[in-house]
Amino acid sequence: MSTKPASAKDERDTKQRVIESALECIIEQGFYRGSSTNEIARQAGVTWGVIQHYFGTREGLMLAVLQNGTEHLERVVAEAHIDGGTAKERLAQLIDVLVTHYARPEYMASLQILLNLEHDPRTSEEVRETMRVASERSQANINRLLREALGPETAADLAGTIFLVIRGFGFSQQLTESIAYGSARHPQARLARQRALLAEVLAPYFEQHG
C-alpha cells in the first residue's frame, strides 16, 4: 500500500512544530537538557529521522530556532509605528514594541542557544556566518524603529543606549517571572506600571540630550 506524500503545507507545519517543540523543551528544561534531539522529537511527536530530514543536524535545528526568533522580531518591528506627540509618548510606544519580543520566554530560549553555539568550538563557520547575517538584519530593523521613535538626528550612542536599556528591561521581566516561584502578584499590572515609569525616567534625559 502506497503512502500519500506530504504536501508542502504539511511539511511546513511539521518543521514549525519541531521548532516550537525545541523552544518549549529549552524553556522548560534549560538548554543542556532541553536541546536533546530525543526529547525534542518526543515533544513534537516525530522521530529523529524526521528532524534529520528537515534540519540535517542538531546544530541545524538550533539554527532554525534562532532564525524563527529573528523572524518574530522582524515582524514585530515591521508592523510597529511610533506616532506619539511627545518624547514620553514615543518612548512608551517604543518600550511596548520591544518588550513584545524581549520579554517572551522564547527570547530567553533563543539567547541560550545563541550563547552556546557562539562559544562551542564545534559550531561550523557557515552557521556562525548565518548568525551574523541574521543579527545584522535584526539590528537594521531595530535602527529603523529607533529613528522613528527618537528622530533621525539622535546620536547613535544615545539611541543604542536607550535600546539596550529597554532590551534589558524586557529580558528582566521574563527573568523575574522565571525565578519568582509564583510569589509575584498581578504581573501584567506590575509590568504596565514599570513600563510607564521607565518612559518617565528616560524622557527627560532624551529631551535634554536627544
pLDDT at 180: 55
Helix (H, G, I), strand (E, B) or coil at 152: coil
pLDDT at 84: 86
* Residue with cell string 532590551: 167
> Helix 156-179 vs helix 125-150: angle between axes, to the nearest 10 degrees?
110
pLDDT at 23: 95
pLDDT at 5: 61
All structural domains of the chain, each given as residue ranges with its CATH number in brackets, are 9-56 (1.10.10), 58-209 (1.10.357)
Residues 10 and 16: their CA atoms lie apart, in Å, by 10
Residues 5 and 172: their CA atoms lie apart, in Å, by 45
Q: Which portions of the chain are predicted below pLDDT 70?
A: 1-6, 177-187, 209-210
Helix (H, G, I), strand (E, B) or coil at 181: coil
pLDDT at 2: 44
pTM of the model: 0.84
Cell of 74: 522582524
C-alpha triplet 124, 130, 135: angle, nearest 5°: 130
Residues 17 and 43: their CA atoms lie apart, in Å, by 9
